[in-house]
A and B are shown apart, each in its own frame.
Chain A
Amino acid sequence: MEEIYAKFVSQKISKTRWRPVPPGSLQTAETFATGSWDNEENYVSLWSIGDFGNVDSDGGFEGEHQLLCDIKHHGDVMDLQTLSVSQQWTTAHYHTGPGSPSRSSAPCTGVVCDNPEIVTVGEDGRINLFRADHKEAVRTIDNADSSTLHAVTFLRTPEILTVNSIGQLKIWDFRKQGNEPSQILSLTGDRVPLHCVDRHPNQQHVVATGGQDGMLSIWDVRQGTMPVSLLKAHEAEMWEVHFHPSNPDHLFTCSEDGSLWHWDASTDAPEKSSLFNQGGRSSTFLSHSISNQANVHQSLISSWLSTDPAKDRIEITSLLPSRTLSVNSLDVLGPCLVCGTDAEAIYVTRQLFS
């Protein structure tokens, strides 16, 4: 972890996302978007990171991110995705109930898109499916959940996975009619709310979730209803978890306790033994703790699902130089990582795997 650039931006950042590069191109990420929260006027802003080839004489400002443009946003920015769209769907999420006779709007907590479909979930427990060119929602599942849905991700194209505040993962299939999930998985023990979810980019049955107690859970949705492994991670809510899109043996988590961790489950040996000699990094070794293990086909084993605690060790590195207020969001693309914090700072690094 060599250089990480910080910039204070006068707004608390709730989400950061890289602008996707066209697949197969050799470009690396150049622009990212951020959303702010808790301001009287919130903004969605686009930033570009510094140029590559130019070496500045004092090396100081090189690499600092610059604001390209921004736009006002009504309410806090809760989630960001990139798509070209020319619609605006207001009141996609609302509450109805004896206490709110007319529809009062409810926060929408998560958005995910898979061109041209967009799925949103909210505090009203509702799931909406939109298409980029349709004015109304294509499909709405009312009362999908009695508690708040915190995050959503695509499993396979017609299937989505949601996590809620009573510790359950639910899989929904849009091909089916009816308002019932096709599968429910939940934690054993305390029903700790789950805040974030991400699917392994290559193995679509492997899913990682982060919970309110900072616990990272890895699930195999094909088997059983309980997580495959539980890893004690942060000291406070884990806000985002991401598998690296091209190196899925690497996982990144960020949390309310102000830290951002890089989990490396890759099994190439040479790196690991020399780790202790590298000053400046704080890393620990952690072994899996298994809670439930069903039969797993050895051929399709993913390093995240494997069972041998002695052999497979995960290396964890903390990426931020000092403890700060909550890190709300992170995103990775290629060798670049961006994250935003409640201390109104954005951190960018372009050398993740140095």
Chain B
Amino acid sequence: MEELDGEPTVTLIPGVNSKKKQMCFDWGPGEMLVCETSFNKKEKSETVPGCPFIYIIRKDIDVYSQILRKLFNESHGIFVGLQRIEEELTGKSRKAQLVRVSKNYRSVIRACMEEMHQAAIAAKDPASGRQFSSQVSILSAMELIWNLCEILFIEVAPAGPLLLHLLDWVRLHVCEVDSLLADVLGSENPSKHESFWNLVTILVLQGRLDEARQMLSKEADVSPTSAGMCRILGDLMRTMPVLSPGNTQTLTELELKWQHWHEECERHLQDGTFASSPRLESLCKIMLGDEAALLEQKELLNNWYHFLVTRLLYSHPTVKPIDLHFYAQSSLDLFLGGESSPEPLDNILMAAFEFDIHQVIKECSIALSNWWFVAHLTDLLDHCKLLQSHNLYFGSNMREFLLLEYASGLFAHHSLWQLGVDYFDYCPELGRVSLELHIERIPLSTEQKALKVLRICEQRQMTEQVRSICKILAMKAVRNNRLGSALSWSIRAKDAAFATLVSDRFLRDYCERGCFSDLDLIDNLGPAMMLSDRLTFLGKYREFHRFYGEKRFFDAASLLLSLMTSQIAPRCFWVTLLTDALPLLEQKQVIFTTEQTYELMRCLEDLASGRPVRGEPGAQRLQEDIENTKLEMLRLALARNLARAIIKEGSLEGS
């Protein structure tokens, strides 16, 4: 048994007195049903009225958020697009394409964050405002983690560009700088602004040295005493060697230059060039990567990874990826200084710096309430071929497990199930089976929804599910007396048995009422008639009626005979068929030939002999009497017809 990673949270069910009564529960696909039982915990049963409700408890409430729905939909599009281009991803462009996909995901997260932020500002009551704000911070954390994973795992930046990417990463996530910059620049006297020095410091901390230099020049303009120092510091800032993208320097060249520059800064500090201005001096110390100076700026840095990146920028700009985690660990320790313990986000980032992908995913799964993040990130990393086939206890690999969990969560939602289908499609081992189980349980309230579900099943050759869904719909239609709909459902499912059922219903209606209902359907069956024998019989029988109505007696007669002899007529209907033959037999002209009459007689005798002769009282007797009378009439009519036919066929064709 695995040990728990954290304490389970307690959720109180409103209206249920959990001290007095017991509760029962049952698991569903993504939720739990809970209700109160009538068992008391301690005392004997008192009939205290309890809570009459059944509660549905969901862990994942994100799925019901309006704004997050956009995230799910847009990322679904990106996911499907990624799976589809997988085959085309080869060679050099592969990495670029995957990075592009990763950036797409991130932009979707950011768009969602932006919208959530707007909602938080516009919120009417503080509680929902708080909720939106906490969502914003969760989304921001997700984007932070994803961005770092993109840099380390997908982009796989080597030493040199690695630092540039990390700088971008930090700059993206500390956004107050730009607004502060605008603030200060926009003021009357920038260098006298109260946050002026904070701004300059943070610009230096973020490696934005050009802008810092501009700020310093403003200060130089205003106070001539420090103009000289500002100029020198500004020159140092300008000459700091950085690896610009597209630059053809090698790493060792950069190292050398940087070492040289570092020594120059050191020299200025030793010489006391900035001694008269403590602020400028601390800026110089920062640029030398002095840890104590950096730690003084804890507030401006705000978090340990900012500290880490700044530290790397000014002391080890050519850091290699594998060495990152040393610096990360020490930065975390230094920054926290033993006062506080690392938070889940810190652990996740640390695991990323250690290149431990599995740990990252595991920690994210625990920290986040929804599988969205881990499922998509794992899938993308899997495309980068970074996950070994790490088999879990139940046979599928991690990517598939996460995708299945995510998709199952989608299916629990009344509307997002359509997205879940595509996720199951791309789970090779258990996806199809899961889809088969889930898709049958979608409630079908309108025909249009049923059609969409059926289309999904047909596209994946899930014939069993098609049959079962069509059967349910056809049965509903039969109950509502929509026989045409029922027939069209059974045609779609190629369900002969149900078509037989519908035809029997029609025939029964005919027997009861003496006429056909829904002639528009029966007259226009078309090739569907071949689906089942009974249906064919129905169609042909109606045709017989039509022939009779059009007075095409010979056609009607031969059709009637073929209906009887071809065995597609149900036994119970034979009496009706034979009775239908009566008017034909009674016609002035002889319609049935002798052969045909012999056939009819044979059928009649078959019918008569097949029925058990029992003497029973009451209504049964009456019924039997009627039957017997009918048979007698038929026998008489057949005999008469036979006589006329023999005579007609025997005589010369005179008439």
Contact = CB atoms under 8 A, between A and B. Distances in A.
B81 A344 contact: no
Interface centre among B70, B414, B446, B518 (most CB of A within 10 A): B446
Contact of A191 (B67, B73, B451, B528): B528
Contact of A99 (B445, B480, B487, B518): B480
Contacts of A120: none
B484 A165 contact: yes
A107 B481 contact: no
A109 interface: yes
A8 B73 contact: yes
A123 B76 contact: no
Given A76-B445, A212-B451, A237-B455, A146 B483 contact: yes
Interface in A206-244: 212, 236-237
Interface string A130-170: 00000000000000011110000000000000001111101
Interface in B71-110: 73-74, 76-77, 81
A343 B73 contact: yes
Interface in B8-41: none
Interface string A91-129: 000011111100010110100000000000001110000
A58 interface: no
Given A146-B482, A186-B524, A191 B448 contact: no
Contacts of A342: 418, 452
B478 interface: yes
Contacts of A190: 526-528
Given A76-B446, A345-B73, A147 B480 contact: no
Given A12-B415, A343-B76, A107 B520 contact: no
A164 B488 CA distance: 10
A191 B415 contact: no
A343 B526 contact: no
A30 B624 CA distance: 76
A345 B547 CA distance: 55
Contact of B452 (A106, A193, A256): A256
A123 B447 contact: yes
A191 B491 contact: yes
Nearest to A168: B524
Interface residues of B, number: 43
B62 to A, nearest CB: 13
A46 to B, nearest CB: 18
Interface in A58-89: 75-76, 78
A325 interface: yes
Contacts of A167: 526
Sorting the interface of chain A by its residue count into under 10, 10 to 19, 20 to 34 or 35 or more gives 35 or more
A147 B482 contact: yes
A38 B417 CA distance: 10
B521 interface: yes
Interface string B443-464: 0011111011001000100000
B480 A8 contact: no
A298 B483 CA distance: 43
Contact of B524 (A107, A184, A256): A184
B260 interface: no
B481 A96 contact: yes
A202 interface: no
B526 A189 contact: yes
A90 to B, nearest CB: 16
A39 B478 contact: no
B133 interface: no
Nearest to A12: B415
Q: Is the interface of B mostly helix, strand, loop or mixed?
A: helix
Nearest to A341: B73
B239 interface: no
Contacts of B487: 147, 166
A188 B459 CA distance: 25
B446 A344 contact: no
B179 interface: no
Contacts of B447: 107, 109, 123, 148, 165
B414 A39 contact: yes
Interface in B483-498: 483-485, 487-488, 491
Nearest to B449: A38
B66 interface: yes
Contacts of B81: 322
A324 B77 contact: yes
B525 interface: yes
A25 interface: no
A237 B483 contact: no
B189 to A, nearest CB: 30
B479 interface: yes
A243 to B, nearest CB: 23
Nearest to A235: B459
Contacts of A100: 479-480
A34 interface: no
A259 interface: no
A103 B144 CA distance: 57
B225 interface: no
B389 interface: no
A343 B451 contact: no
B362 to A, nearest CB: 31
Contacts of B414: 38-40
B517 interface: yes
B418 A325 contact: yes
A344 B70 CA distance: 8
Nearest to A97: B481
A324 B422 CA distance: 11
A177 interface: no
B69 interface: yes
B100 to A, nearest CB: 15
A191 B526 contact: yes
A318 interface: no
The 3 lowest CB-CB distance pairs between A and B, nearest first, are: A99-B479, A146-B484, A147-B484
Interface of A: 8-12, 14, 37-40, 75-76, 78, 95-100, 104, 106-107, 109, 123-125, 145-148, 164-168, 170, 181, 184, 186, 188-191, 193, 212, 236-237, 256, 322, 324-326, 342-345
18 contacts: A8-B70, A8-B73, A37-B448, A76-B449, A97-B480, A99-B479, A106-B480, A109-B447, A146-B483, A147-B488, A166-B487, A166-B521, A184-B524, A186-B524, A190-B528, A191-B526, A193-B488, A256-B451
